[in-house]
Amino acid sequence: MQEGQSENMDSREVPHVQIKDTESLPPRDENVSLIGTKVKAQNGNLYFIVGLVLLAPLVTGFSIGYSSPALPKIAFPTKEEESWFGSLLNIGAMVGGPVAGFLLQCGGRKLTIMSTGIPFIIGWVLIGTASNEHVINLYCGRILTGVGCGMSCLAVPNYISEVAPPNLRGFLGSSFQVAVTVGILAVYCLGIPFTYFWLALTGAALTALLVVAIVMVPETARYLLMKRLKVQAMAVLRKLRGPMADVELECREIEEALDSSDDTFRWSEFSRPYLYKPLLISLVLMFVQQFSGINAVMFYTVSIFQSAAPSINANVATVIVGAVQVVFTCVAALLMDKLGRKTLLIVGAVGLAVSSTVFGLYYQITGDDVEKQHKLSAVSLCSIIVYIISFSLAWGPIPWLIMSEIFPSKARGAASGIATAFNWGCAFIVTKEFSHMQESMTKQGIFWFYGGICFLGAVFVFFFVPETKGRSLEEIEVSFAGNDRRRR
């Protein structure tokens, strides 16, 4: 869009929320009512509803981790077929993100989460009933479970961000990644005694449970207000906040944000700073998340554990790594609303950069010398532990959380769809091309490359990523819109 055109655009294209620019406002106290009276928050229903919704990322994690224990049992004839089976989930997820973005705006948040059950169940049935002779069925099943993963990764963070109050949004938003890691750990554990058929059947059963559970989940108040259903929205807020909370104030703030913006979303609005700035921030965070080298490190995890402790079984090693991810992602959820997103991202990026650099030095020194690798196994083991902790504390959960926070309501589906598809596209490139990158860059070179990406990620976060801790979605939205107004 030309600058001259943008200056003459209808002012309704940029939401002018009738509250103060919130960049300088302190975090709002959710326990303060309109008249300043303290009331005790009642979050029992909120936790229960979020717990039901978290079944979707649990199935997502189960799908992501499925290939690790299943591949040896499916026994593909060639390594190339194994590689495609592991990578096709990312292709499906690239499709699932935009599909969920469309459903999010047209059908609502609840319907979108429930719809993830369709590709998940069909995908699990195709995988479970196929053999290595029916490669097409296995591939189609893997793609469909990927579609479910992409839909879940978009719909669930957005749902949680809309139902959670600002003082709990970091904790509850991070629970999405906690559920993903729990799902990965579950499939690692079950993969020891189960065949790939029973693992797929378990995935289908979990998905069926998800669909039944979502029936009890309410639609978000923001979506209901977008559809001018105020009575239903007030009822949802009372259910989520408890009878003592001032839901009228929260409802009025959401209405003001919606009423002062044009409800009609136009793709041309991506040329406006209030939309392209949060989109670029989200895309960079997704890029760093995937190109931090998480897949490369997970690829070497088993060999490193076996080198450091030869008695450890390969399956047990993966379970240990999965457990470490769960524990420290839980820690991240507890710290999110205390330390803030920005601090954790910077600390996590530095930790990833340092551990990746040391990891590269380890391979530079040892090469293919097994004896040297065994002598320096403690170095590699410490590096991988620091790496997994750093990723779990920050770059695992926070990019998804920030994606759900920074987009304006009317563009949330479209913008989140783009960010989700981009994330899974990066994941496909890293996963599918890892062996080629390793050949061209060497083992040490590829880890130094990932370390450099993480360092640049820390610099980007420091200068460009806003802190969203304790701010309502309306306050975050108006901060981007306010910058746009000042330019005009």
Distance CA(369)–CA(185), nearest Å, equals 32
Per-residue tokens: 40: 């005790």
> Residue 255 domain-assigned?
no
**What's the CA gap between 192 and 319, in Å, rounded?**
10
Q: State pLDDT tens for residues 51-70.
A: 999 999 999 999 998 988 88
Phi then psi for residue 397, to 5 deg, are -85, -35
In a domain, 22, yes or no: no
pLDDT in tens, 289-348: 999 988 777 767 766 666 666 666 777 878 888 898 999 999 999 999 999 999 999 999
CATH of the domain at 49: 1.20.1250.20
Q: Which residue's structure tokens are 């402790």?
A: 309
Helix (H, G, I), strand (E, B) or coil at 38: strand
Sign of CA dihedral 101, 106, 112, 117: negative
- Rounded to whole angstroms, the Cα distance separating 118 from 176 reads 20
Answer whether residue 96 is part of any domain: yes
Percent share of the chain, pLDDT over 90: 52
With cut-offs at 50, 70 and 90, classify the pLDDT of residue 24.
very low
For residue 315, being part of any structural domain is answered with yes
Helical packing angle, 377-390 and 294-308, nearest 10°: 140
Residue 238 domain flag: no
Domain presence at residue 24: no
Residue 277 has pLDDT above 60, yes or no: yes
Separation CA 388–CA 392 (nearest Å): 6
- pLDDT tens-place string over residues 421-471: 999 999 888 887 877 888 888 888 998 999 999 999 999 999 999 999 988
287 located within any domain = yes
In this predicted structure, the answer to whether residue 10 has a pLDDT above a threshold of 90 is no
Question: Which residues are bridge partners to 94 per DSSP?
Answer: none
pLDDT of res. 213: 96
- Measure the CA–CA gap between 189 and 320, rounded to whole angstroms: 10
Amino acid letter, residue 76: F
What mean pLDDT comes out for the span 24-44? Answer: 46
Q: What is the DSSP letter of 218?
A: P
Query: Which residue segment(s) compose the domain that 191 sits in?
Result: 42-217+261-487
pLDDT digits (tens, 9 = 90+) for 96-139: 999 999 999 889 999 999 999 999 999 999 999 987 778 899 99
pLDDT digits (tens, 9 = 90+) for 135-164: 899 999 999 999 999 999 999 999 999 999
209-255 pLDDT tens trace: 999 999 999 999 999 998 889 999 999 999 998 878 788 888 888 88
Sign (positive or negative) of CA dihedral 139, 292, 343, 324:
positive
Q: What is the mean pLDDT of residues 383-393?
A: 91
Give the chain's domain count. Answer: 1
Question: Is the residue at 252 inside a domain?
Answer: no
